Structure 1
Amino acid sequence: MHAVILAGGYGKRLRPLTDDKPKPLIEIAGKPIIEWQILWLKSFGINSFIVLTGYKWEILIKWLSENEKRLGISTYFSIEEEPLGTGGALKKVKNLLKDENAFIVTNGDIITDLDISQLKLKESIVTISLVPLKSPYGIVETQGDKIVDFKEKPILENYWINAGVYLMSNRVFEYLPDKGDMEKTTFPKLAKESLLTGVKFYNVYWRSIDTIKDIEEASEDLMRMKNRLSADNR
């Protein structure tokens, strides 16, 4: 199975870190985002990657080409000479995926450990991974006009967000725009035709890297997880 990584964004909210490199090469706990993604997907037996590039594509392709052997992967690249949106970028590589019954697609700015083997298509064309919404703010609990407790950025388990990890049938190309985001065009159309499903992941690590604060917090999370694993293996 192939995995497609959507890696063409500008990373404007991460400037100045993205002034001289694309967002997937921003380091989190000592590794670029894209390396974390490759290691995660490799743990499910995926060794073949199609990377959809745009901004600073030369630097990303150079890094991947130099690290293919070390990571034990094969990579194919698609370069957007002009922004095509997620839907247009994916449609551009139709010929590379036309013989695949199903393939994984992931946004190039997330770090997660969710279990992609739980994603099944059944009668759908796309299955979306869903994770519970984490409040960006602390929550104040009240009883009447009395404050009784504080919860620091709790998980809101009744609210689900698109995790940016998908299992797709090759039939998706019939629904993709030549230019535009599939989240705004393809997914609503599939939903109306009952061809879109979601799988809820409860106890997983998931983080979208959008700001400097996300880098700092994700780095702390991953170092903490690494130290915990080291302690457990002693």
Structure 2
Amino acid sequence: MRNATVLQKTDAVILCGGRGKRLGAVTKDMPKPMVMIGKKPFLEILIEYVSSFGFRRFVLCVGHKKEAVEDYFRNRKDGVTIVYSEELDGKLLGTGGAIKNAEGLIESEAFLVMNGDSFAPIDLGKFFGLHEQRGKDVSMVLTKASGRNDAGSVRLNETDEVIGFSEKESVDRETYMNAGVYFFNKTVFRNIAPGVHSSLEYDLFPALVNSGIYGYVTDADVIDIGTPERLEKAKTFFMGGLKR
């Protein structure tokens, strides 16, 4: 189980600063990833799933209502180390800027990146092996777009290399949806300017298309908590307990 051993020394970075405006009062006092699913915050479910593949060190990128995250996870004693990368002075950095802000805390040469408000039940060990094999800066998990018009879409060639992106309004049946789960190599940081707002989806990834981003296509459904309707679906999904 080489990958499991390697993943113990591989950092997992989770983007936890989402405000969750579409969830209304639910996120008044907490960031979106801290919304409760049964008796646990959604973020805790993510951490437990990721750690089941061997990951032991997590970098949480926090901003909005960061105290809710830090207070909840302060006294964990389950063998997992959590460190925090904080947006300062209320400056919104975006997904790309948040990753750049965490650069000094990331210790492994390759690292996992996840959105803190979505979940894709994939084999992270297999995904990591594919990322290593391809040797590029970015690998991303993709799923069928399934007619959604709010997520944008990704186009692949015959070798699963990403060849383009489409805006949210132009999803078609031949494209895939970004699931919000990635492996990055540290060399990707040279493509992100420090201290400024930057988006992975709209700034970094389009700029890297010609240098090689690979997709990892899965049939698994992506669960997200971005709207009240999807939050209720997430609660139903996790009700029976999460199995790998």
Calculate the TM-score normalised by the size of structure 2.
0.78
Q: Which of 116, 127, 144 lines up with 2:124 in the alignment? A: 116
Q: Which of 190, 195, 203 lines up with 1:185 in the alignment? A: 203
Q: Can you give the 5+ residue segments of structure 1 that lack an aligned partner in the other structure?
A: 138-155, 230-234
Q: Which of 98, 108, 121 lines up with 1:100 in the alignment? A: 108
Task: Report whether the alignment pairs 1:165 with 2:165.
Answer: no
The 5-angstrom pairing of residues 84-95 of structure 1 reads: 84-95=93-104
Aligned partner of 2:42 in structure 1 is 33
Aligned partner of 2:73 in structure 1 is 64
Aligned partner of 1:212 in structure 2 is 228
Aligned partner of 2:143 in structure 1 is 131
Aligned partner of 1:145 in structure 2 is none
Q: Is the 8 A contact 1:2 1:50 kept in 2?
A: yes
Aligned partners of 1:127 and 1:22: how far apart in 2?
27
How far has the Cα of 1:177 moved from its partner? 2.9
> Which one-letter code corresponds to 2:73 in the other structure?
L
> Which one-letter code corresponds to 2:210 in the other structure?
K
RMSD: 2.0
Aligned partners of 2:13 and 2:117: how far apart in 1?
13
Q: Is the 8 A contact 2:114 2:180 kept in 1?
A: yes
Q: Is the 8 A contact 1:177 1:185 kept in 2?
A: no
Aligned partners of 1:129 and 1:22: how far apart in 2?
24
Q: Tell me which protein shows more strand as a share of its residues.
A: 1
Aligned partners of 1:95 and 1:56: how far apart in 2?
22
Instruction: Please give the secondary structure, in 2, of the residue aligned with 1:165.
Output: strand
Aligned partners of 1:9 and 1:80: how far apart in 2?
12
What does the per-residue CA deviation read over 1:52-104, in whole Å, with 9 as the maximum and x for residues that have no partner? 000001111111113x21x431100011121111111111121222x422000
Aligned partners of 1:196 and 1:63: how far apart in 2?
35
Aligned partners of 1:188 and 1:38: how far apart in 2?
29
Instruction: Please give the secondary structure, in 2, of the residue aligned with 1:17.
Output: helix
How far has the Cα of 1:158 moved from its partner? 4.2
Aligned partners of 2:188 and 2:42: how far apart in 1?
27
Instruction: Please give the secondary structure, in 1, of the residue aligned with 2:45.
Output: helix
Moved over 3 A (4+): 134-137, 156-159
What does the per-residue CA deviation read over 1:159-192, in whole Å, with 9 as the maximum and x for residues that have no partner? 3100000001010101123321121111111112
What does the per-residue CA deviation read over 1:102-140, in whole Å, with 9 as the maximum and x for residues that have no partner? 000000101231112222332310000001123459xxx
Instruction: Please give the secondary structure, in 2, of the residue aligned with 1:198.
Output: strand
Distance 1:21 1:3, change over 3 A: same
Q: Is the 8 A contact 1:33 1:109 kept in 2?
A: yes
Aligned partners of 1:127 and 1:177: how far apart in 2?
20
Give aligned-pair identity as a percent.
32
Figure out how many residues of one structure are paired with residues of the other and give that number. 204
Aligned partners of 2:148 and 2:203: how far apart in 1?
27
Aligned partner of 1:51 in structure 2 is 60
Aligned partners of 1:60 and 1:94: how far apart in 2?
20
Q: Is the 8 A contact 2:16 2:116 kept in 1?
A: yes
How far has the Cα of 1:215 moved from its partner? 1.3
